[in-house]
Homo-oligomer: A and B are copies of this chain.
Amino acid sequence: MKKQKLFVAKIGGNIIEDQEALDSFLKDFSKVEGAKILVHGGGKSATNLASKLNIKTEMIDGRRITSAENLDIVVMTYAGLLNKTIVSGLQKNNCNAIGLTGADANVILAKKREPKFIDYGYVGDVIKVNDNVINNFLQLGITPVFCAVTHDGDGQLFNTNADTIASEIASAMGNHFEVSLFYCFELKGVLENIEDKDSVIEHINLETYSKLRDTEVIADGMLPKLQNCFEALHKNVNKVHIANAEFIRDNNIKHTTLSL
């Protein structure tokens, strides 16, 4: 039997922190037909709140070192203000959204990342996505909206990278759906030349990815993002797109598509 389609989108700071961009995105996302899931980050808002509360924010390679105090800020910002702003914004557009952390209905179990060279604090790595529960919500016509918070099932919440959550959810939902995963990006896609915003690499597969990495065309923050994409492709996800927010309105704009 042919599987139903599922669209998983991940948005980050460039959309969330800009009220106009967010309103426009939520309007477009609401119009996407069929089953869909939204995953959001929100690092800048957490950093702003921490700063107002005189709590230090420490980042290593773009990852937040999450002390107990910082975890409270992450939960207040991601699961509270941002998640509920997004959910109520989708409801306004007649999209029946529900906001979720990994603890809600036990949808994402994680375990604390072991300190090796770096102690990331309360950062969790995903162990299991409960795809059946998420599928129940989708079958009820409900659109899950995930923030970047997970739990260990033993009362501990964690900060978990939103790109990874999107990849893990998309992979797990491959058991039920034909899944496409969309990473909404500030640029048009992965660029050949960072100076030229139009130099989009339209297709990347495992072979070309390896070349782009070796020649350092792809480096820094783009590497873990693409790693997440290929992990998703290895585990059940059909297509991954890295594109500007406009992609949600027009799938034909220039962007990057990843395949194995």
Identify the A interface with B (CB < 8 A): 49, 52-53, 72, 75-81, 83-85, 87-89, 91-92, 96-101, 103-106, 133, 136, 140, 142, 149, 151, 153-157
* B91 with A153: CB separation less than 8 A: yes
* B76 with A88: CB separation less than 8 A: no
Query: In the complex, what distance in Å separates the CA atom of A104 from the CA atom of B146?
Result: 12
Query: In the complex, what distance in Å separates the CA atom of A89 from the CA atom of B77?
Result: 19
Can you offer 24 A-B residue contacts whose CB atoms are under 8 A?
Answer: A49-B76, A52-B53, A75-B80, A75-B81, A75-B84, A76-B76, A78-B80, A79-B79, A79-B80, A79-B99, A80-B80, A87-B104, A88-B103, A88-B156, A91-B151, A91-B153, A92-B154, A97-B105, A98-B100, A98-B104, A98-B105, A105-B142, A133-B140, A136-B140
Copy number in the complex reads 2
Query: In the complex, what distance in Å separates the CA atom of A96 from the CA atom of B103?
Result: 9
Partner of A104, one of B52, B99, B103, B136: B99
The A contact surface, by secondary structure, is: helix
Residues from chain B with a CB closer than 8 A to the CB of A103 are: 84, 87-88, 91, 97, 99
CB-CB nearest in chain B for A103? B88
* B155 with A89: CB separation less than 8 A: yes
Residues from chain B with a CB closer than 8 A to the CB of A153 are: 91-92
Residues from chain B with a CB closer than 8 A to the CB of A88 are: 103, 151, 155-157
CB distance from A249 to the nearest CB of B (A): 20
* A101 with B84: CB separation less than 8 A: yes
CB distance from A226 to the nearest CB of B (A): 31
Partner of A76, one of B77, B140, B151: B77
Query: In the complex, what distance in Å separates the CA atom of A187 from the CA atom of B15?
Result: 48
* B80 with A76: CB separation less than 8 A: yes
Query: In the complex, what distance in Å separates the CA atom of A88 from the CA atom of B52?
Result: 27
In order of increasing CB-CB distance, the 3 nearest A-B pairs are A80-B80, A92-B155, A76-B76
